Amino acid sequence: MEKHTIQHEIEGLWLVPTPIGNLGDISLRALEVLGAADLILAEDTRTTAKLLKHYDIDTPMRSFHMHNEHKSVPRIVSELSAGGCIALVSDAGSPGVSDPGFLLVRACVAAEIHVQALPGATALIPALTLSGLPSERFVFEGFLPPKKGRQKRLSALAEETRTIVLYESPHRILKTLGQLAEHLGENREASASRELTKKFEETVRGSLKTLIDHFTITPPKGEFVIVVEGLS
């Protein structure tokens, strides 16, 4: 893909959402920014390389992930202060939402560097709307703390009146559903969506007990979004 003539119009840091499964879900504007940027910061360059190859984009990449985020930020801010455009992407969805990005955005704002966020793919909203649970008011919890603070967070969620949305991995899904049932009650209505936008997309709805029974029999695969009704 040839560099666009708008390159000098998009200086600064650009947060570019990428598809959560189906490559066709990326926006035209996202492709335009990725093609015009001087550099793409990628959570996993191997994953992003597949997307760039699919759309014939040859912008250079550099790794930017949770393990190097702190030490990388000063260098990136220095580069942006000199001018040019850097695009930040995660493996899937919007960077900064349960993925690296917050520290860099904060540093750029402090340095008065232009920051722009594009709308785009996220697993949160499709799972919420598919759940059949109230979506007018909800709280997004991302991933629960793996150890420290986990019980405290679960206890707080037991009193939450808004619909609750969580992310979870396949190897922890049963543990999390079990703990939610323990703190919120096994009859609390919920849904679990996996592989959203992909060939084997699935949403299971019912009580927390129903979900536990289902995934005890059917081995969970893929990344999950759990949606739970709030306390009534």
Mean pLDDT across 65-88: 93
Q: Which residues of 56-65 are buried (b: 16+ CB within 10 A; e: fewer)?
A: ebebebeebb
pLDDT at residue 5 is higher than 70: no
Q: Which pair of structure tokens corresponds to residue 232? A: 């009534």
- Domains along the chain? 7-117 (3.40.1010.10), 124-228 (3.30.950.10)
Report the pLDDT value the prediction gives residue 9, as an integer from 0 to 100. 64
Full-model pTM: 0.89
pLDDT digits 0-9 by tens, 124-174: 999 999 999 999 999 999 999 998 999 999 999 999 999 999 999 999 999
Strands (E), the chain: 12-15, 39-42, 61-63, 85-89, 115-117, 138-142, 163-168, 189-194, 202-207, 224-228
Phi, psi of 188 (to 5 degrees): -65, 130
State pLDDT tens for residues 20-56: 999 999 999 999 999 999 999 999 999 999 999 999 9
pLDDT of residue 96: 86
Residue 7 has pLDDT above 60, yes or no: no
Query: What's the pLDDT score for residue 82?
Result: 94
- Which pLDDT does position 120 carry in this prediction? 86
- Region 97-103: mean pLDDT is 86
What does the radius of gyration of the chain's CA atoms come to, in whole angstroms?
19
User: Is the confidence at residue 106, as pLDDT, over 80?
Assistant: yes
Per-residue pLDDT of 174-211, as tens digits, reads 999 999 999 999 999 999 999 999 999 999 999 999 99
Q: Give the orientation angle of helix 102-110 with respect to helix 69-81, to 10 degrees.
A: 40
Using the predicted structure, report yes or no on whether residue 4 has a pLDDT greater than 60.
no
